[in-house]
Structure 1
Amino acid sequence: MDEKPRNVSGSLCPAMSSAEILGDKWTLLLLREMFLGTTRFGGFQKAIPRMSPSILSKRLKTLEAAEIIVRKPFPAAQAGEYRLTRSGRELGPIVENMAIWGMRWRKRSIAAQDCDVGGFMWDFHRTLNTQGLPDGETVILVKISDRRELNAWWVIANGDAVDLCPDDPGHEVDVYLTAPLSTLVALWLGDVSVKDAIDAKTAFIEGDRHLTNSAQDWMAQSPFVGVKSAVAGP
């Protein structure tokens, strides 16, 4: 295990001490994933595809050395799972408030940034509102019209369980959602409604009539969609 983090700044400020461990984009994304329920190395890779395995391993070791997480090995298996400790769980409100602050003050920047398609679709599939879907299996084919690669994703929902497939799983598709990535992000952030996107012809939904008519009910949205942007000023 790595040595415990050193006080690089030389400051006795507790906020600085915390920042030396947490003040890194990859670390915050990693913690966010843990609060969303991810516990396995492979799960982190799927959720944060731009994070290299070496960086992921290093950040996990840093959090483990800081006693924010613990690694629990599985019997007769190399892979284990990572769990938050008591101090790690106390970071929950901090990470949540950072997300709320970002939605209030940085939403325009968030919407305009070059997001990773795989990472976005991972968020999309796990925030699908399954309560708005009929009983049984529902297959949604999301087609990203402005991407040459990774432009088709199958979202398979059955009850509360939702799976994401970048390759055709061979299931019959119930509804097709076609839009550029920017529109999908706007729908997910709550910046535009399904009706407005369809009226503007930036999104197209075809397939089962009930599913097309109720698309706003099942559409995936950020957990922070209700946070309103703040007006800049003193």
Structure 2
Amino acid sequence: MKTYSQFCPVAMAAEIFAERWTPLIIRELLMGSRRFSELEYGMPRIPRSLLTQRLRTLEDAGVVTRKAQGESKRAEYHLTEAGADLLDVVMRLGEWGQKWVNHDIGLGNVDPTLLVWDMHRRVNIDLLPEERVVVQLDFHGAAKGTYWLVLEKPEPSVCMWDPGFEVDLFVATDTIAIHRAWMGMTSFAECVEDGLIELDGLTAHVKAFPGWFKLNVFSGVERVVNAG
């Protein structure tokens, strides 16, 4: 690990927290990811070797602990008290980024895997129907791909491969449009009206679909346009 060789607590904290990918690893652990594969879903572009290296560094720093769970002894990663104490740091960083970083959603930053992973953990459980609903999302445009959301109580899941269930609702979406809607830059209804998102299924499912999800946790932060 490179150091600043300064006694300042900001410098010492940055040596641990501010390495590339580390804030996103902390974000994923704070959002409930525990297994290595779950961390990869939240950061699909990180090399596996680098993720392993960063987790070891965080373990050595006392931020993350690695535990063997179940009969399979599969490794799970949990934040320590010191790691959980970074919640406010991550939230403030995300709010600052949403407010002040002058950006829009485009070809360079769309990530359907992260989007669908985020959607599955932002489900309004209480608003789901009693029966299981399988949603197939087909992305086109800036990035292509097909994913499935299995929406059922008490725990929805996301599938990167066909889960083998009959699909109840098909969602065909322009990739950039649904990312912008997810981040609160436009509305889901506007995307549907403009033909950028198309839904095909039972009328009840089509009407209810937008309400089944809370938007991204930072979507409600007011953005400052053309920040200098």
Normalising by structure 1, we get a TM-score of 0.88
Distance change (3 Å), C-alpha of 1:80 and 1:17: same
Distance change (3 Å), C-alpha of 1:50 and 1:217: same
What are the Cα deviations for residues 68-98 of structure 1, in whole angstroms up to 9, with x where unaligned? 1112234764532222111111111101111
Q: Shift of residue 209 of structure 1?
A: 0.4
The answer for unaligned runs of 5 or more in structure 2 is none
Q: How does 1:136-147 map to 2 (within 5 A)?
A: 136-146=131-141
Structure 2 match to 1:200? 194
Deviates more, 1:198-207 or 1:69-78: 69-78
Distance change (3 Å), C-alpha of 1:203 and 1:68: same
Asked whether the equivalents of residues 133 and 211 of structure 1 are also in contact (C-alpha less than 8 Å), the reply is no
SS state at 2:156 partner: strand
Aligned partner of 1:166 among 150, 160, 163? 160
C-alpha distance in 1, partners of 2:192/2:69?
A: 48
C-alpha distance in 1, partners of 2:36/2:120?
A: 19
Distance change (3 Å), C-alpha of 1:59 and 1:182: same
Q: Shift of residue 66 of structure 1?
A: 0.7
C-alpha distance in 2, partners of 1:16/1:202?
A: 45
Distance change (3 Å), C-alpha of 1:200 and 1:133: same
Asked whether the equivalents of residues 137 and 170 of structure 2 are also in contact (C-alpha less than 8 Å), the reply is yes
The answer for unaligned runs of 5 or more in structure 1 is none
Distance change (3 Å), C-alpha of 1:67 and 1:203: same
Q: Shift of residue 187 of structure 1?
A: 1.7
Asked whether the equivalents of residues 129 and 220 of structure 1 are also in contact (C-alpha less than 8 Å), the reply is yes
Deviates more, 1:38-47 or 1:195-204: 38-47
Structure 2 match to 1:37? 32
What are the Cα deviations for residues 6-45 of structure 1, in whole angstroms up to 9, with x where unaligned? 7x22211110111111112310110001101112222212
Structure 1 match to 2:23? 28
Structure 2 match to 1:94? 89
1:179 paired to 2:170? no
C-alpha distance in 1, partners of 2:154/2:181?
A: 21
1:59 paired to 2:75? no
The residue identity in structure 2 corresponding to 1:167 is W
Distance change (3 Å), C-alpha of 1:160 and 1:101: farther
Q: Shift of residue 133 of structure 1?
A: 2.4
What are the Cα deviations for residues 185-205 of structure 1, in whole angstroms up to 9, with x where unaligned? 012112222221111111111
SS state at 2:90 partner: helix
Q: Shift of residue 100 of structure 1?
A: 0.9
Q: Shift of residue 110 of structure 1?
A: 5.6
Q: Shift of residue 172 of structure 1?
A: 1.7
The residue identity in structure 2 corresponding to 1:229 is R
Deviates more, 1:71-80 or 1:223-232: 71-80
After superposition, the CA RMSD in angstroms is: 2.2
Distance change (3 Å), C-alpha of 1:90 and 1:32: same
What are the Cα deviations for residues 135-182 of structure 1, in whole angstroms up to 9, with x where unaligned? 120111111122675x21111111131111222222122211111110
C-alpha distance in 1, partners of 2:127/2:42?
A: 24
Aligned partner of 1:215 among 201, 209, 215? 209
Q: Which runs of 4+ in 1 moved over 6 A?
A: none
